[in-house]
Structure 1
Amino acid sequence: MTDPRIATTSEYGVLGVRAGFEAHPVDARHSLDRYPAAADLSGLVERHWVVSWQLPPGREGSVTLLPHPCVNLVLDGGRLAVAGVGRERFTYIYRGTGQVFGVKFRPGGFQPFLGRPLADITGAVLPAEQLWGPAATTLAERMAAARGVDRLVALVEGFLRERWPPPDPQVELVQRIVAALLHDRTIARVDDVSEMFGINPRALQRLFQRYVGVSPKWVLRRYRLHEAAAVLAAEQHRPWAEVAAELGYFDQSHFIRDFTAAIGLTPVAYARACRTQEAPVSA
């Protein structure tokens, strides 16, 4: 089992500012709260999360996210869905008052529940009933009626325990690799991963397609771009080339190309938009 103290996903992913909230701190509210998974579930579940918001009538807000290489189980509007790994950034629109609850599985952590290659659901959002049948409908109804995060967590964790899959040593291997991609700055290429873990590139690719749903190169790039966006948003005057070099991008044109494709703006334009408190990106 993966040590729950070792993160396999970052805390980053929200891009720029939350449109519709930043200029109206009194009458518009938005929060993202994270909660740890129970110890017996933490080998497959990274954490639980809750997004809550409040907007006056007639107003809209939005947030743009760059997804992690994770599957999420999401309760939104009373419906429970399984969201596969999203390749592209996406924008969520907020109206009125509401809440979304989610379970973020570790990379590779959902494959034992799915029972087939995770690449099959990459980019897809499936009704939970498609995987678990009427039991998922009952769970969604009970969660929608629940009061308080503790109750939501208890319901979904009980549901997962009843369906807990047998141990799979490949899951732990995948998570050790993903943790290295996230934390180890000496890894600049997929070949570095192959050498570090003694897995040939073709086998590594197959492993990630089955358990993560995207390639190891995609995971490495996504985590580096998460961090780059976070640094440029927090330190808007910092030279982007310095940030790129720290993250292992020694080809500046390569960094600009990757950043712009993922974020929707060049590094300079993104930092400027964050500095002026604009909502700089959308999907």
Structure 2
Amino acid sequence: MAAPRRDTRGIVDATDLFAHVDFRRREPAEPLRPYLEHYWLIDWNLPQPYASHVVPHPSVNIVFQQYENQAPFAEISGIGLTLFTQKLEGRGRVCGIQFRPGGFRPFAPHRPVSEWTGKRIRLPDTDPTPVLTPPDEDARVAALDTYLLSLGPRPDPQADHAMALTARIRTDRTIRKVTDLAQEEGVSVRRLQRLFAAYIGVSPKWVILRYRIHEALERAETDGPVDWASLAADLGYADQAHLIRDFTATVGVPPTTYAGHRAPQGPTTPMAPHPYTN
């Protein structure tokens, strides 16, 4: 399996985030790699409050969290459907597990993943201290491995299929419509939708759109000017106006404004217990 991703897709104004927090990605133990994107670790010690913004991936996360003057806790975070904003202040630590799209179901086989979508569920029977308290980062990663391996993921060919399909959507720009994907897979659109609801948590159309916005967001982070009309065509949009509409609805500002200022404005989701950091 490949090493953890090094891109910044989904992170709004990644340069600013990295200037305020210590952010790392780490690889899980080998038996877990088919199911996980990576672990993500954040530590901060801020003299002033800072707000992070993320456009979530189509992934479930399990997150261990410690905030100043709060008891540590762990929770399952389903796929976030809208721009996520989190205020960080003082000193804190987060150790997260990002599953591959489709990779969470083998750890929780009795419920469709769509039941977690848009929700954050505390895990009261999970002690977060073995993950959060070790001063050594390798020890924290080892504790994450131990925790997940104790859950005993169940091999599931349908989960493997779902992971392969979303990986293809992420990398293959020729996949622009659900009907095209269904035709190439030799299945009905309805069957594809049922698979995604059960194993991904969102529709295939949502995944296609989200990965488009991630790529547009990353391109907006570049230092040079972006040809938005060409990018819209590359991403399968009918025209530039459709890309601008989707980008604005997701990030909160038009892409040209974001490229100039790299700071989201307008309505966002309410503050929540932890940052989705993808």
Q: TM-score range by the shorter chain?
A: 0.7 to 0.9
Q: 1:241 to 1:205 in 2, by over 3 A?
A: same
Q: Does 1:13 align with 2:10?
A: yes
Q: 1:204 to 1:7 in 2, by over 3 A?
A: farther
Q: 1:53 aligns with which of 44, 48, 51?
A: 44
Cα distance in structure 1, aligned partners of 2:11 and 2:247: 14
Shift, 1:8, TM fit: 9.6
Per the alignment, residue 112 of structure 1 pairs with 106
Q: 1:269 to 1:172 in 2, by over 3 A?
A: same
Residue pairs, 1:190-201, within 5 angstroms: 190-201=178-189
TM-score (norm 1): 0.86
Secondary structure of the residue that 1:63 maps to in structure 2?
A: strand
Equivalent residue letter for 1:126: I
Quote the sequence identity (%).
36
Secondary structure of the residue that 1:67 maps to in structure 2?
A: coil
Cα distance in structure 2, aligned partners of 1:103 and 1:221: 23
Q: Which runs of 5+ in 1 are unaligned?
A: none
Equivalent residue letter for 1:35: R
Cα distance in structure 2, aligned partners of 1:242 and 1:6: 31
Cα distance in structure 1, aligned partners of 2:240 and 2:4: 28
Equivalent residue letter for 2:52: V
Per the alignment, residue 280 of structure 1 pairs with 264
Secondary structure of the residue that 1:181 maps to in structure 2?
A: helix
Q: 1:70 aligns with which of 51, 59, 70?
A: 59
Residue pairs, 1:1-283, within 5 angstroms: 4-5=1-2, 11-16=8-13, 29-56=20-47, 59-77=48-66, 78-114=72-108, 115-129=110-124, 134=125, 136-137=126-127, 140-235=128-223, 237-274=225-262, 279-281=263-265, 283=268
Superposition CA RMSD, Å:
2.2
Cα distance in structure 1, aligned partners of 2:185 and 2:85: 36
Shift, 1:145, TM fit: 2.3
8 Å Cα contact 1:60/1:94 also seen in 2: yes
Shift, 1:153, TM fit: 1.5
Cα distance in structure 2, aligned partners of 1:7 and 1:187: 24
Cα distance in structure 2, aligned partners of 1:211 and 1:8: 22
Cα distance in structure 1, aligned partners of 2:233 and 2:212: 11
Q: Which runs of 5+ in 2 are unaligned?
A: 67-71, 269-278
Cα distance in structure 2, aligned partners of 1:102 and 1:256: 32
Shift, 1:7, TM fit: 8.1
8 Å Cα contact 1:67/1:87 also seen in 2: yes
Q: 1:208 to 1:8 in 2, by over 3 A?
A: farther
Q: 1:49 to 1:105 in 2, by over 3 A?
A: same
Shift, 1:165, TM fit: 2.5
Cα distance in structure 2, aligned partners of 1:128 and 1:113: 14
Cα distance in structure 2, aligned partners of 1:189 and 1:48: 31
8 Å Cα contact 1:113/1:165 also seen in 2: yes
Cα distance in structure 2, aligned partners of 1:169 and 1:17: 35
Equivalent residue letter for 2:65: D
Cα distance in structure 2, aligned partners of 1:190 and 1:39: 33
